[in-house]
Amino acid sequence: MGSRAFSCAEHRAAPFKKKKSQRKTKQKKKSDFNHFTASFDLLLLFFLLSRCLHFLLLCFQVQMFVAEENVDFRIHVENQTRARDDVSRKQLRLYQLYSRTSGKHIQVLGRRISAKGEDGDKYAQLLVETDTFGSQVRIKGKETDFYLCMNRKGKLVGKPDGTSKECVFIEKVLENNYTALMSAKYSGWYVGFTKKGRPRKGPKTRENQQDVHFMKRYPKGQVEIQKPFKYTTVTKRTKRIRPTNPS
């Protein structure tokens, strides 16, 4: 009797065990699928990150290459600008330099320099030797034969010999159409004057200051020599009439 009851109970519990095992199998399959999905998502994320890093590295390399090209070109231009051109033909011009701050013209008074010259003043007439390339100039007073120079303290002085690099200036044309003269030997130091026409020391000057802005002016009675513009006249082409053969 007892064995029969045990077998009946076991028979009744069999379906529950079967369902439980099926449930475990489903859960295991679901867990395996979730694990596979998570692994796939992780691999996909890793792949996308690697591609993004590769793209960023490529962009960085391109920018570095472009920046290096620009730096090299700027260095080349700067070096060529500072280098003296002893091969090309020199240009010698005569004009005055009008100071924006003093309202007068630069004067080379022997060893003394000022910006108090009136228009047409003989000490304000400057002979400017210009290189064909580089915009480097040497400025000499026509009356005194002294050169405009800047010494190591940044002071503007006149010297009878202009072969020193202290007497060479780099001519810069600014956006406001004024001209600035930077020392070729002491980079960043400019020719400048106060409102009273007194020279400013080079270390106290900046390119954007009005004290270093000048305008070229020709002396009174002197007209800039310009070659006339050559052109060829063109007449309207007439229609050609072909002769008719007599019949």
CATH at residue 148? 2.80.10.50
Encoded amino acid at 11, one letter? H
pLDDT at 88: 52
Distance of CA 162 to the CA centre of its chain: 31
Which one, of 165, 166, 122, lies nearest residue 144 by Cα? 122
Q: Are residues 103 and 29 in the same domain?
A: no
Residue 17 domain-assigned?
Answer: yes
Encoded amino acid at 213, one letter? H
Residue 212 domain-assigned?
Answer: yes
How far apart CA 219 and CA 13 sit, in angstroms, is 123
Q: Are residues 186 and 130 in the same domain?
A: yes
The two most distant CA atoms of the chain are separated, in Å, by 147
Q: Are residues 171 and 190 in the same domain?
A: yes
Q: Are residues 128 and 163 in the same domain?
A: yes
Residue 97 domain-assigned?
Answer: yes
Q: Are residues 158 and 43 in the same domain?
A: no
How far apart CA 97 and CA 73 sit, in angstroms, is 32
- List the domain range (segments joined by +) for residue 96: 91-217
| The two three-digit tokens of residue 3, written as one number | 């064995």
C-beta atoms surrounding 131 within 10 Å = 21
Which one, of 166, 176, 171, lies nearest residue 208 by Cα? 176
Q: Are residues 211 and 117 in the same domain?
A: yes
Say if pTM beats, i.e. exceeds, 0.85. no
98-126 pLDDT tens trace:
999 999 999 999 999 999 999 999 999 99
Token look-up 């003296």 returns 84
Beta partners for residue 196, in sequence order: none
Using the 3D structure, point to which of 58, 82, 106 is the last residue of a domain.
82
pLDDT at 50: 83
Q: Are 190 and 156 in contact (CB under 8 A)?
A: no
What phi, psi does 130 have (nearest 5°)?
A: -115, 135
Residues of the chain with pLDDT under 70: 1-36, 66-89, 131-134, 221-247
Q: In total, how many domains does the chain have?
A: 2
Encoded amino acid at 59, one letter? C
